[in-house]
Amino acid sequence: MTITGTAVLLIYLILTPFIVCGFSGVDRVVTARMQGRKGPGLMQPWYDLVKLFSKETTSVNDIQKILVMAHCFFAIFSGAIFFAGGDILLVLFALTMAEVFLILAAYSANAAYSEIGAQRELIQMMAYEPITLLTAVGFYLSAGTFRVDELIQGDLPLIVKMPGFFIGFYYILIIKFRKSPFDLATSHHAHQEVIKGLTGDLSGPVYGFSELAELYEEMLMLGISGLFFITSNPLSFIWAFVAVIIILFSMSLIDNIFPRVKWEVLLTTAWIVTLFAGGGNLAVLGAVGK
């Protein structure tokens, strides 16, 4: 690993909670302004996270704590591989493992809301996993490699060759960021009809590790989004940052405009987007490659 790669990895490991909590704070402020409220301060998400770790450690059972810790580890590990410039396929597989451990933790609680949330999370995985894997294939067909440190060495931004994959990936970001209309399994808002669903029976530091894992996962998703815009030109990082900010703002906008949909709509629309946006782009790249 190069010195630059090591520096980026350390920044990811150390600063991600502060950076993503800052983004979340801005999101809360923007949401409040859209709804005509004052809303919380910018640092409220950070205060909430610290407060969780200051509480007494409680859990429904011992296995739940182990599963949540495994979820947190694999979430951080997947991002570490990405920001270290590693194989993006391994990144996605590790991220899937993180989701599986969270689902198992919800099932281990043997509680109604947690089980409903776990079932919905499985449905969401069925919705977004195909496009994430297709996007990895698209990266390979566009640049001839799965390695992140090699993908950013091109002369043209990858979005030029992968507009369909970007559309599909953007669509599933709404699911990954747990934004309405696709916040079926759990939600950042109190109006969720299954309360906190997937994480409803987590509390204290155990819940804190779940929230921490989500922060690292969101940073990874933003990193992959930026990957579409980064080239060998250092100035491209600025364009990638601008693109990420636009994505975050649009997520807040979508979250406040659209009501939650049923899981059938989520699954159907996600597969349609995967088929036409991702599949169409894949067919074009395959034809060009030949």
Per-residue pLDDT for the chain (290 aa), expressed as one digit of tens each? 666 668 888 999 999 999 999 999 888 888 888 878 877 888 888 998 999 899 887 777 889 999 999 999 999 999 999 999 999 999 999 999 999 999 999 998 888 888 888 898 999 999 999 999 999 999 999 999 999 999 999 999 999 999 999 999 999 999 999 888 888 877 666 555 556 667 878 888 988 999 999 999 999 999 999 999 999 999 999 999 999 999 999 998 998 888 888 889 999 999 999 999 999 999 999 888 64
How many beta carbons lie within 10 A of that of residue 121, not counting itself? 21
What pLDDT is attached to residue 111?
A: 81
The parent domain of residue 258 ranges over 3-289
Residue 131, pLDDT score: 94
How distant is the alpha carbon of residue 257 from its chain centre?
20
Sequence-distant (≥ 6) Cβ neighbours of residue 268 within 8 angstroms: none
CA–CA separation, 157 and 154 (whole Å):
7
Predicted TM-score of the model (pTM): 0.92
Nearest Cα residue to 121 out of 135, 150, 101: 101
Q: How far is CA 99 from CA 29, 38, 73, 188, in A?
A: 28, 34, 11, 17
Number of structural domains in the chain: 1
Name the nearest CA neighbour of 195 among 85, 102, 282, 113.
Answer: 113
Interacting residues of 209 by C-beta distance below 8 A, sequence separation 6+: 68, 69, 71, 72
